[in-house]
Amino acid sequence: MSIRACVIGLGKLGSPLAACLAAKGLTVIGVDNDPRKIEAINQGQAPVHEPGLDELLTQTQGRLSAIDDVEAAIRQTDISFIVVSTPSDPAGGFSLRYVDPVCHAIGRALAAKDAYHAVFLTSTVMPGTTGGPVREILEKASGKRVGADFGLCYSPEFIALGSVIRDFLNPDMLLIGESDSRAGDFLQSLYAQVCENKPAIARMAFVNAEITKLAVNTYVTTKISYANMLARICEQLPGANVDVITSALGLDTRIGPKYLKGALSYGGPCFPRDNLALAQLARQLNVPPDLAQTVDRFNRAQISWLADLVQHQTNGTAGILGLTYKAGTDVVEEAAGFLLAKELIARGVRVLAFDPAYGQNSRGPALEKLCFAPSALECVQKSDVVVLATAWPEFSALKPQQWVRNGNPKRTVIDCWRAVKFLREEPGVHYLALGLGEGFV
């Protein structure tokens, strides 16, 4: 008999997760309180913006449906994934205001269910949560015991928006915090059925898995910030090139090449939050949080530094290409381009922006006084200085002459990702690339 799965939360991670499971042969019931998402899933349409999701939904072949009733979904399935939001709280930790009611509903359904059921929490939580509040709510609501009557695992996904499907099907590793070996075996066998590669698997107690999730992302943000510091150094030394330096660094097996781009601030819904959460955890335990805090401060300071650079280059319109935190997603949470626009507007600079996935009709946060261009080309040609803040492929596809402004002064192009280096040889452009010691001194 095939496994029947329930995915609770059909947002930017939950919807692709549900589609992946169904495409790999599982019968999946998605649960959400948003009628629009439920309707979209039941019509075979993507309820969120994620590359490849529409195509993947065509492969589910009727095995994926959606409802708004957690208890009904639990009664009909063997396993459940909790993929609801855990917003940051004022202290830097994670709120359980969406997790708690889901756990109450799961517990009530388990009370009336005889068959074994395994609950998998994927939402990022603070260490001590899965074995603490989550376990307590499930046991109290069900009248049953974790490990004896039902299983519980904490298994966060290390995936990035814009590549959720690829990352879920081909993970570097699987992290499983388990209540008992039966629950861990169940989840591991499920991943063996779904994953297209053979990832490393780390199984451990809840608390170790919870710490590991925060530790992985904080280590990555530290590595990104280190490369960005090198980029700032290179900009002040003629002939210096951060790509040459980080390529050499990456050859050292103690370091490795990933996340050594040397460009602009990290952003998105995970990296900044997890970094601050690890710092908060350290403070709670009277452990110096300096490293994580310094990385966060350095990352945020990059926006002010870039705004200074933009202001120094123009008294007119500043164009920003890319408001989302990375190509392939419509998310602007903690995105460098969006934060730069906000900072410049606060300083009285006129800002014109273009992003392929974010615009006037987006459901993302609005920014008063931000003007939108209908195309990348118009954004460039109506701006005195252009900041390439997100490396969308269509930006580098513009022809060299389309960046040129005839007459004086030349149009300044600040290339945060060295994506349009061909402009270095273009006489009609004042080209500045972050990480290159050309034109900064």
Task: Indicate which residues carry an active-site annotation.
Answer: 270
Q: Which residue has tokens 């639990």?
A: 74
DSSP symbols for 59-117: TSTT-EEEES-HHHHHHT-SEEEE----PBPTTSSB--TTHHHHHHHHHHHHHT--S--
User: What stretch of H or E contains 6?
Assistant: strand 4-8
For residue 261, the one-letter residue type is K
- Report the 10 Å Cβ neighbour count for 113: 18
290: alpha, beta or left, given left = phi > 0 and alpha = psi -120 to 50?
Answer: alpha
The DSSP letter of residue 133 is: I
SS3 244: helix
What element of type H or E holds 178?
strand 173-178
Query: Which SS3 state, helix, strand or coil, does residue 429 take?
Result: strand
Considering only CA atoms, which of 48, 55, 45 is closest in space to residue 20?
Answer: 55
Q: What angle do CA 48, 51, 57 make, to 5 degrees?
A: 70
Both tokens assigned to 80? 């459940």
